[in-house]
Amino acid sequence: MSSTFSDRRGGVGEEFSAVALVEELQARGREVDPLVNAVCTPDPAALTHAARLDTERDEGRVRGPLHGVPVLVKDNIDTADLPTTAGSLALVEQPPPLQDAPLVRRLREAGCVVLGKTNLSEWANFRGSASSSGWSAYGGLTRNPYALNRSAGGSSSGSGAAVAAGLADYAIGTETNGSIVCPAALNGIVGLKPTVGLISQQGIVPISHSQDTAGPMTRTVSQAAALLTVITGGGTDYSESCRGTDLSDVRIGVPRGPLWGYSTGLDEVTERALGLLSRCGATLIDHLSLPTPGGDEDQLQVLAHELKVDLASYLATRAPGGPRTLDDLIAFNKEHADVELQWFGQELFERAAATEGLDSPIYVASRLTALRAGRDGIDDLLRDNQLDALVTPSYSPAWTIDLVNGDHVLGSSSSHAALAGYPLLSVPSGLVAGLPVGITFSGTARSDATLIRLAHAFETARIMADGPFPTPEFTQWV
């Protein structure tokens, strides 16, 4: 039977069942996913779960606003009934524990239907320095729906491309430094990287306990807010922050410097976005600067040290017989070099394997430098200028896929928040030569609700000015 509930575009009043919606999305997947390659493992039981949830609704049992809503989950997050591979062949035959990660359990308890797992940049883009975002040995190459020769970004490539391609309106990604906001910007969707620690990292293949977090990737800000409410446990209803366009009580800082200037088209779109924020009543404090983050060496030391320790702890939860350490994974990749190492190496794995633990003076010093650049840089700028948040361009337009030479990222705005463990929210702002670009709101720890309010106001104002964001046409070349 059909039931009335919020439809996949966020409206209310259209009658359809969860089963009908899952069938619609599966048909859409059969049509367009061969072009995009966003979903690596569909859930064969999705229709069964949807039917059960429809029965519950017809019996008057509604679990919440997302009852019956389909969701895709990145393939580095444990699901009890589907493989979790992080894109690597090394984990294909080594099942995770027969339980969902806490965030997946919360999705199911809220009535969401897990449609399947999305492809990612293998090992969340921390194996070799010349990697191509969106490629994994297990899932192959994910492409950008707006131009199939362009990158979908990473490492949450499949989640970003899937939402843009209409395979689901709700997906979960993970981020260490840009892995949610990058594919969100490149695919023209909303990506929210929450404050680190807001969502449990249990059951998620790690890189860094100080920087990793899962987060929503959705079509709209209100959908991201609803999804965040669920996966954080419901203690805060983030949907309450989606409340119109009046920002007259808000002060937003605009850091310039290296966060701008790497893409003329992106800068032009972002300047127009600043105008829309001003028309919403926000006070913009322009031409600010953030201190340059610690050098790449400090950042890499933190990630390398934490990866060795955190990944070993995670691998210990998997079924016996598989890899237990980075050395095991390095050996596996060498044994299967024709597939695993065909496009790029594993020098980041090798570097991490050589580290000496979290008591190492090198790690302690590098972590302190990272915190000073990220946390203190953001907090000092907010405090000194009495700001509620910051806004910057998100990422350069999608670059051409180049498996031989790797990614060609011109610039981004995620590093300070990554080092600090602070939240980011990327929302579409326009097109450059037919390719999506976005703006990113950032703030201090636990300012997630504030960022949602600002992004929702901007999104509403942009739609009022320009209409709905253009849908992808799956062109071969841009």
Catalytic residue among 88, 133, 136, 155: 155
179 is catalytic: yes
193 is catalytic: no
Catalytic residue among 17, 121, 133, 179: 179
Catalytic residue among 17, 74, 157, 415: 74
The 3-state secondary structure of the chain reads CCEECCCCCCCCCCEECHHHHHHHHHHHHHHHHHHHCCEEEECCCHHHHHHHHHHHHHCCCCCCCCCCCEEEEECCECECCECCCCCCHHHCCCCCCCCCCHHHHHHHHCCCEEEEEECCCHHHHCCCCCCCCCEECCCEECEECCEEEEECCCCCHHHHHHHHCCCCCEEEEEECCCCCHHHHHHHCCEEEECCCCCCCCCCECCCCCCCCEEEEEECCHHHHHHHHHHHCCCCCCHHHHCCCCCCCCCEEEEECHHHCCCCHHHHHHHHHHHHHHHHCCCEEEEEECCCCCCCHHHHHHHHHHHHHHHHHHHHCCCCCCCCCCHHHHHHHHHHCHHHHCCCCCCHHHHHHHCCCCCCCHHHHHHHHHHHHHHHHHHHHHHHHCCCCEEEEECECCCCECCCCCCCCCCCECCHHHHHHCCCEEEEEEEEECCEEEEEEEECCCCCHHHHHHHHHHHHHHHHHHHCCCCCCCCCCCC
Catalytic positions, please? Answer: 74, 155, 179
